[in-house]
Amino acid sequence: MLKRRAVHKDMAEANVYAARRLKDMAQSLGGLAKTFGRCREEPGLSREDGIAALEAASAMVCGACESCGIQRECRRGGDDENYYLYYLLRTFEKKGCVEYEDMPRRFLEVCRRKSDYLGQLNRNLGRATMNLTWKNRFLESRAAVMTQFEELAGILEEFSGQMEQALDVTMTWEGELKTALRKRRIDVEGLLVLQYGQGRREVFMTARMTNGRCMTARDASEAIAKVMKGSFSAARDGKAIITRNPASFRFIEDGRYRILFGSSRVPRDGEEVSGDSYTFKSGLPGQAILSLSDGMGSGQAASEDSEKVIELTQRLLETGFSARSALKLVNTVLLLAGTEQNPATIDLCCIDLGTGVLEAMKLGAVPTFILGREGVEFLEAGGLPMGIVQNAEPVLMSRKMWDGEKIIMISDGILEAMPGEHKEETFMEFVSNLSGGNPQELAEQILAFASGLSDGGVVDDCTVLVGTVLERG
């Protein structure tokens, strides 16, 4: 017993040490982002760019001639004092070239090689503009990388907080769990039980069968649930079968709530593939995720864009990133992809199955509707689609969900099909009069209603997702 307690103490100390190291790493990355993230995009061609272009043109064309005195004039005073140089640069930026009428009168009267000089000046300013463009792109990329550093620092700090809050309750359950599992011919060689905030528990164990047979991890989870008086499921990323060879398994407490999903969609008339993509999956333990993305346009290209957004977001959420961090990082990735990736909206709903709290985030998506106890309400947030601006900041909206309440997510094709100017109100009125049924039936009813309103056929991709939150009995 003393040896077992010493092992648990060592594990707890290792947990604290790891949490502190993660926090130190988070602070280091945050500091790095602040130090190197102060970059400023150049607004346009500078005075130095203009003088260099003039001097290069003179060297190529003028030789020893200084009759017009353009260079001397442009070198006098600063930016505010030299109106002509400022005018020259802004004219080039606006028109893409400098013409005769833009040059000083003395230059037009005196210069014998006006055409050659003007051609060389335009080429020099063109090269300066190209250099400026590449410099600004570099700065944009650097800012994007620094944003990733900041978000990574945030998730590491979040992880460290979770580790520090995890309570080792192995000693409370060890005896009962090993006894119950031994009756099923399962030998537990190692065991760790952690309890997180709001009471959610996880069981980690190294186990093998002693009778030469096999047992599913699901059957083992039922035994664990009976002892610990809760509902447990085997982790999706772990082994599914317990054999005679020792292996590690993880069991997660399911939470107080569960969710049922339904979906229905139809592509735009004339297209075989919808530009909308969606998914129903789990993120962190005890979390359900509904996500919907609408690619720009329609057809195969739009479908690939929206699928990429959904896939990237889901991967980050499953890894442990918060919804906000995941969306900001995906937005940064799309910006860095440039013309290879078109913008796409993202509509994200994360439901904590332990508390029933819904957290919704959007970038460019239409409102999410809640069919609740007291009627229909909607969660709305503005913003541009992903991949357009660097500092996209998704707005977090939260709401407590109760037993039987429904989450309805739609693409803009559904909303645009509604008659009248106040489309949200029209949709809410229709939803409030739905006869009920399971999520799949509701999704199909909504899609049929929207499709039936279009006399000329479906003019945009239409997708409906419905999730019903249910309290476990």
Within 10 Å of residue 458's Cβ, how many Cβ atoms? 19
Residue 160: closest CA among 24, 33, 284, 30: 24
Which stretch, 57-61, 105-109, 223-227, 323-327, has highest mean pLDDT?
Answer: 223-227
The residue written with tokens 């796409």 in the block is 344
Please write the tens of the pLDDT for every residue from 257-306. Answer: 889 999 999 998 888 899 999 998 876 667 889 999 998 888 888 888 89
Work out the number of other CB atoms within 10 angstroms of the CB of residue 363: 29
Running DSSP on this structure, what letter comes out for residue 411?
-
222-226 average pLDDT score: 93
Q: What does the alpha-carbon distance between residue 188 and residue 183 come to, in Å, rounded to a whole number?
A: 11
What is the per-residue pLDDT for 221?
92
At 457, phi and psi to the nearest 5?
90, 170
Query: Which residue type does 1 have?
Result: M
Q: Which of 400, 321, 323, 399 is nearest to 363 (CA)?
A: 323
Considering only 164-178, 336-350, 366-380, which range has the smallest mean pLDDT?
336-350
Interatomic CA distance for residues 396 and 379, integer angstroms? 10
pLDDT, tens digit, for every residue of 294-334?
988 888 888 888 998 898 888 888 777 778 878 877 887 77
- Residue by residue, DSSP assigns 292-334 as EEEBSSSHHHHHHHHHHHHHHHHHHHHHT--HHHHHHHHHHHH
Kindly give, in sequence order, each residue whose CB lies less than 8 Å from that of residue 86, ignoring residues fewer than 6 positions away.
47, 79
Helices and strands of the chain, counted as H and E runs: 13, 17
Q: Kindly indicate the confidence band of residue 169, based on its pLDDT and cuts at 50, 70 and 90.
A: confident
Give residue-wise pLDDT tens across range 124-146: 888 887 877 777 766 666 666 67
Asked which of 51-65, 286-300, 438-452 is least confident by mean pLDDT, the reply is 51-65
- Would you call 417 exposed, middle or buried from its count of C-beta atoms within 10 A (0-12, 13-18, 19+)? buried
pLDDT of residue 313: 87
Three-class secondary structure of residue 181 per DSSP: helix
Q: How far apart are CA 304 and CA 156, in angstroms?
A: 31
CA separation for the pair 145, 132 (Å, rounded): 20
Q: pTM of this prediction?
A: 0.68
The alpha helices in 184-250, defined as continuous H runs, are 217-228
Q: Judging by DSSP bridges, how do beta strands 232-234 and 201-209 pair with one another?
A: unpaired
Q: Where are the domains of the chain?
A: 1-162, 166-253, 257-471
H/E run at residue 416: helix 412-416
Rounded (5°) CA angle 53-58-60: 95
Question: How far is CA 17 from its chain centroid?
Answer: 30
Residue 82 pLDDT grade (very low, low, confident, very high; cuts 50, 70, 90): low
pLDDT recorded at residue 429: 92
In this model, does residue 365 exceed pLDDT 60?
A: yes
pLDDT-wise least confident of 169-183, 337-351, 366-380: 337-351
Q: Output the average pLDDT for the chain.
A: 80
Using the predicted structure, report yes or no on whether residue 389 has a pLDDT greater than 60.
yes
Among 383, 315, 314, 380, which residue's Cα sits nearest to residue 343? 383
Please tell me which residue, 113 or 21, carries the higher pLDDT value: 113
Nearest to 259 by CA among 453, 64, 439, 103: 439
Angle between helices 114-165 and 323-337 (to 10 degrees): 160
* Contact (Cβ atoms closer than 8 angstroms) between residue 259 and residue 288: yes
How far apart CA 430 and CA 320 sit, in angstroms, is 37
3-state helix, strand, coil in the chain (%, to 5): 50, 20, 30
Task: With beta carbons less than 8 A apart as the criterion, state whether 252 and 235 touch.
Answer: yes
Q: Is the pLDDT of residue 423 over 50?
A: yes
Task: Report whether pLDDT(116) > 90.
Answer: no
Which residues in 383-456 belong to E strands, given as ranges? Answer: 397-400, 406-410
Cα–Cα distance for residue pair 211/193, rounded to 1 Å: 25
Domain 257-471 has CATH 3.90.850.10: no
**In the prediction, which pLDDT does 7 show?**
47
Closest CA to 448 of 462, 467, 435: 462
Q: Are 289 and 280 in contact (CB under 8 A)?
A: yes
Distance CA 300, CA 446 (A): 24
Give dist(CA 332, CA 390) in Å, integer.
Answer: 7
What pLDDT shows up at residue 284?
Answer: 66
Please, which pLDDT band fits residue 81 given cuts at 50, 70 and 90? very low
Measured in Å, how far apart are the chain's first and last C-alpha atoms?
38
The residue among 204 and 166 whose pLDDT is bigger is 204
